[in-house]
Every structure is written in structure tokens, then in C-alpha cells.
Amino acid sequence: MLSLVPYDKKFLRDLVPLHPERADLESLHQDLTDFARGYGTQVVVAMENGQPLGVAGWVSLGIAEEGILYGVPVLAGTETVADLLVEHLIGTARELGARQLRISHFPGEDGKLAALRKAGLVPLLEILSMERPTTELPEGFVPKGFQRVPFTEMDWPRFSVFHNAVFKDVPNAPPLNAEMIEQEWQTMDPEASQIWKDESGAYCAWLAAKADGHVDTIGVDGSLRGKGIAQAMYRITIETLSAKDVKRLTVLLASTNHATLRLHAKLGFTEYTRRTVYGLDL
């Protein structure tokens, strides 16, 4: 009989093959135990006869301001397992007072798709996975007077206000507090990642990149867009990671974020897969 139990790292080897992008053991463990998922307390594993058959994590950071609970990751080997996990997430969302639940579906997750539709979730938007090689550096120069801020000198509370203001209208990007952002940046490559301030000391742009070449987030103050700052940051990141023998950059972009899609297309990024975000209004 299927049941739900708390997450334990010993389940990883059975859960990794369920991941549509075949995440490795360590990256999946990090996803399940980061601050956004309560360091693993906001994760359940579907078990039957001692065998892990699926897992669901949830992010509640967006409930206070957006009313959204994010179910991520949700991995299931069968439709029956997906039914149980989706049902649990709906119950959790209601219990926490969320107005909407969102769960992503990847190509090939047929059982999960059937479970989402059965529970009444409908497509909302698509998230594109894009990539480009760490060659052919983009143009772009950081404006005169801008200074790169060392992580050790960061005012994280002030940066969190800037970060959330830039991401205010970006879908599937819940607001983060200073502690969460600081912890997230601890997982980034300190040389490839950048935070910039202007002559007045105000934060104006950032690019957060991991050592494997994945660009976690990038943001530029609205008044400074179109000046080549994003291109300049990407140039620095590419030069840094290329020197470390990283062959490609990857990034996730919402299909509704047209300006960012145009920017990344201009910078040579191409799509290699996409997922659909399904939602249920509660």
C-alpha cells in the first residue's frame, strides 16, 4: 500500500531515475533540502513495500505576497503515485492558505500529466531551458562608475529589496528574504557571479551563476535596461567559466518574459527543452 514518509537521503538512488532531466544525486539532494523547502522538512516520499516510488517538495515563500504554493520537484514513476503526491500538495496548499498551487510538467511525464489533469490543474505558462557555448563572447561594457561588490561586503537586506523589486513581475519567482538570498548565493561560483553598484552605492545589476555553468538568476534595474549591462555581465561570466573548462551556459526563462527571451536569443542562447507550469486555483 502506498504511503507518504519524510524525506531521507538514503532514498536518492531510487528517486534520481525519476527525474526528467536525470539530475545527479547531489543536485537532487540540494534541491530537496535547500532553504526554500525548509531544509527537507517540506518534502514527502511515496513508498510501497519499502521502495521509494516518488517524491514531492513544496515552496511556500510565495504565499504571503502572491498566494501561490509551488510544488517542486514532483517526481513520480506511475500515475497512481502522482495522484497521491498531487493530492498531498493540494491539501498542503489549502492548509497553508494558498490561493493557487503550481506544478511543472516535463515532456515524457505521462503519468504525472494525467494526475494533474485529473486534479483540475490547467496550463498557465511554459519555462524554457536554454543554452549557449562558452565561446564567441558577447559585446557589452559595464557603465563608467559602476563597481563590483565582493560577497563579503554585501548588505543582503538591502540587496533583497532590490532583487524582489526587479523580479516583482517575473512569473514563478517568489519573493525571497535576505537570509534566503544570502544562502542561495553561497552556492554560486564567486568569480563567475557578480553584483554591481553605481556611484551612489545603490545596487543596480547582478548575475548569479553556478560552477557548472547554470545561470540561476540575472537582473538589471529597470532604468538601466537596454544599455548592454546584461551582455557585459555575461561576458565576464563566460570568460571566467571558460577558463575553468566549462563548455556551456544554461538558463531557465518564462515564456511570458518576452524581453528576457529576446535578450538571450540575441546573446546566442537556444532552447533545448521546456516544461509547462500547471496551476489550480483554490
Write the CATH number for 268: 3.40.630.30
Q: What is the pLDDT of residue 184?
A: 87
Q: What is the pLDDT of residue 225?
A: 84
Sign of CA dihedral 43, 76, 110, 17: positive
Number of domains in the chain: 2
Q: Is 255 exposed, middle or buried (0-12, 13-18, 19+ CB in 10 A)?
A: middle
Of the ranges 2-16, 138-152, 231-245, which one carries the lowest mean pLDDT score? 138-152
Q: Return d(Cα 237, Cα 191) in angstroms, integer.
A: 8
What pLDDT is recorded for position 65?
79
DSSP 100: E
The pLDDT of 71-100, averaged and rounded, is 97
Of the listed ranges 81-95, 113-127, 252-266, the least confidently predicted one is 252-266
Q: Looking at residue 116, what is its pLDDT?
A: 98
Whether residues 191 and 268 share a domain: the answer is yes
State residue 228's pLDDT score: 87
The mean pLDDT value for 208-224 works out to: 92
Q: Name the residue range of residue 229's domain.
A: 131-275
* Residue whose C-alpha cell reads 545589476 in the numeric block: 205
pLDDT over 70, % of the chain: 99
Q: Please determine, for residue 120, whether its predicted confidence score (pLDDT) is greater than 80.
A: yes
- Asked whether residue 174 falls in the same domain as residue 218, the answer is yes
Q: Which of 69, 88, 120 is where one domain is finished?
A: 120
Q: Where is the domain boundary, 88, 120, 152?
A: 120
Q: Residue 134: its pLDDT value, please?
A: 92
User: CA–CA separation, 156 vs 163, rounded Å?
Assistant: 10
Q: Is the pLDDT of residue 15 over 90?
A: yes
- Round to whole Å and give the CA distance between 165 and 169: 8
114 and 156 housed in the same domain: no
pLDDT at 22 over 70: no
Average pLDDT estimate for 9-23 = 87
**pLDDT over 70 (residue 34):** yes
Q: Does some domain include residue 125? A: no
From the list 52, 13, 56, the residue with the least C-alpha distance to 31 is: 56
**Three-state DSSP class for residue 44:** strand
Sign of CA dihedral 113, 216, 273, 126: positive
Helical segments of the chain, H only: 12-15, 25-33, 63-66, 79-95, 110-118, 156-166, 178-185, 229-243, 258-266
pLDDT at 72 over 70: yes
Higher pLDDT, 212 or 175: 212
What pLDDT does 32 receive? 93
Residue 6 has pLDDT above 70, yes or no: yes
Report, as an integer, the average pLDDT of 256-266: 90
Mean pLDDT value across the chain = 92
Per-residue HEC secondary structure of 240-261 comes to HHHHCCCCEEEEEEECCCHHHH
User: Which pLDDT value is given to residue 55?
Assistant: 97
What the block records as the C-alpha cell of 235 is 561576458
Query: DSSP class of residue 60?
Result: -
Residue 36: its pLDDT value, please?
Answer: 86
Strand duo 3-6 + 51-59: pairing:
unpaired
Residue 168 has pLDDT above 90, yes or no: no
Residue owning grid cell 502522482: 82
Same domain, 150 and 258: yes
- What local confidence, expressed as pLDDT, does residue 78 receive? 95
**DSSP character for 222?**
G
Q: How confident is the model at residue 279 (pLDDT cuts 50, 70, 90)?
A: very high
Q: Are 265 and 138 in contact (CB under 8 A)?
A: no
Position 7 in a domain = yes
Maximum CA pair distance of the chain?
A: 65
Over residues 155-184, mean pLDDT: 87
**Residue 9: inside a domain, yes or no?**
yes
Q: Do 146 and 109 share a structural domain?
A: no
Domain co-membership, 184 together with 106: no
* Residue finishing a domain among 93, 120, 147: 120
